[in-house]
Structures are given as C-alpha cells and as structure tokens.
Amino acid sequence: MKQTIHQFTVKNINGEDISLEKYKGKVLLIVNTASKCGFTPQLNGMKELYDEFKDEDFEILAFPSNDFGGQEPLNGEALQQFCMIDYKAEYPIFDKIHVKGKDQSELFAFLSQKEKNGAIQSKPKWNFHKYLVDKNGKVVDYFLTITSPTSNKIKKSIQKLL
C-alpha cells in the first residue's frame, strides 16, 4: 500500500484534475478552510507563513469545506476571489470538499487515519485543521484549529523538514 499523498488526484478551484504528485520534493501544509468561520483570519497567517517559506520548497494547499456549521457558502470563482483578493492567497486553493463523514474525500481519509497514512490519527474537528507532509509525501504531523499558522511550533516543524 502506498502511504503518500502523491497517489491522489484532486480538483482545483476551476474543477481541473491536479495530481498531488506535482508536489513531490516539497514540504506541504494542508489546511481545510472556510470563509465564514471565526478562524478565517488564519488566512492572513497562512499568507505570512507562505511568504516566509515559499522559496524553500514549501507549499500550502487549501481545501475549502462546508462540513462545520455551513461556514463555507462560497463556490468556484466567488471562493477564489475571496481567498485571492481579500486574503491575497498565492498558494493553491482547491475545490470545496468533505473533510469528514460518509462523504469524506479520499485525501482527507488518508490524512486523518493512521491505518491509511502510517503515522497519525487526527480527524478534523473544525475548520483550519492543519496537516504537515514531508518532501516524500508522508504525513508527519498535524496541528489543531487553534494553532496559528505563524506559531513557532508550526514554523520549527516546517524548518526541520526543509
């Protein structure tokens, strides 16, 4: 069984298939986001973190989700504009997906279940749950919603992998 995120293909915000193999050799922070959440200001921190590490084989992958309190009402172009204009996101924004429950995407099932990823067990309990993935596509850590993207904990974990 492959235990990397590189085996997955996801849809970008425009509905095009993107193979996560494209991110081989990069450290990734994968985050489930929402535009109408109390934690939405973390998008500012995600931009700051991205700006700090983007030249060092680092990427943030944002996956909007409406799974928690209906806090992602936007779709497609409106969602892209919100992230890219209001929060100046330069990292990839993907199509809205389910990160939990019976319709959970294969990617988030992999990220959240130790029997699939071989390392961690951590299902998202709210928006802005963060998964850290090494350059080989292996899940190595997670950070709860309350952990700021610019926290020393996240920055040190990224620096160790770079």
Annotated active-site positions, please? 37
CB 17 within 8 A of CB 151: no
CA distance 14 to 95: 7
CA distances from 17 to 10, 13, 99 (A): 6, 10, 18
Residue 102's SS3 state is coil
Which residues partner with 31 through β-bridges? Answer: 62, 130
How many residues in the chain? 162
Please give the span between the terminal C-alpha atoms of the chain, in angstroms, as a whole number.
26
